[in-house]
Amino acid sequence: MDKTQLIHKFAPNADNLILILHELQNNHPQHYLEEEDLRAVASYLNMTHSQVYGVVTFYSMFSLKPRGRYIIRICKSPVCELEKGNRIEETLKKDLGIGAGETTADGRFTLEYTICLGHCDKSPVMMVNEDVYGDLKPEILPEILSEYN
Ligand code: FES
């Protein structure tokens, strides 16, 4: 499905802005929004480019630069931090050789932070794209990451 088709899955109503942006970003192999996407969405919704740009830059889930095929989001909210979430973060950074906001050289993973994912009973928690992983321990991370190629 090309970008125009993705956009036209939604009615041309400004209330659909976030949904359309998600659709475009989720279907981009590098999980980001290109400049042409912002222009196309603005035109379709009869909004200005700066209105769309303002929304994209306000929400941390949107990116204007290329990211990995898989986005790892580490929960940085207090419950996960107290449950040794920092050990998970340190292990991921070391194993992947990247810092927060960076992408591995092979374009496979991008490491990001997120706020509470709503699974505090399983802290520490992280997401890989749409998959949630809880009760994390450093030693199980390689097995989890091996599922994403
Ligand atoms: S604090 Fe991490 S999932 Fe709630």
Q: For every one of its 149 residues, what pLDDT tens digit does the chain have, with 9 covering 90 and above?
A: 899 999 999 999 999 999 999 999 999 989 999 999 999 999 999 999 999 999 999 998 899 999 999 999 999 999 998 878 789 999 999 999 999 999 999 999 999 999 999 999 999 999 999 899 999 999 999 999 999 99
Q: Which residues line ligand 1 (CB under 6 A)?
A: 75, 77, 79-80, 116-117, 119-120, 123, 125
Q: Is residue 121 part of a domain?
A: yes
Please tell me the predicted confidence (pLDDT) of residue 60. 83
Same domain membership, residue 130 and residue 83: yes
How distant, in Å, are the alpha carbons of 21, 29, 32 from that of 66? 15, 9, 5
Say how many Å lie between the CA of residue 79 and the centre of ligand 1: 6
Q: Which domain holds residue 140?
A: 70-145
Collapsed DSSP state (helix, strand, coil) of residue 70: strand
Say how many Å lie between the CA of residue 59 and the centre of ligand 1: 19
29: left (phi over 0), alpha (psi -120 to 50) or beta: alpha
Atom of ligand 1 nearest to the CA of 122: 3
Is the entire prediction scored with pTM above 0.75? yes
Give the count of domains, the chain: 2
Same domain membership, residue 53 and residue 74: no
Say how many Å lie between the CA of residue 75 and the centre of ligand 1: 6
Collapsed DSSP state (helix, strand, coil) of residue 47: coil
Atom of ligand 1 nearest to the CA of 124: 2
Please tell me the predicted confidence (pLDDT) of residue 32. 95
Same domain membership, residue 74 and residue 54: no
Same domain membership, residue 135 and residue 75: yes
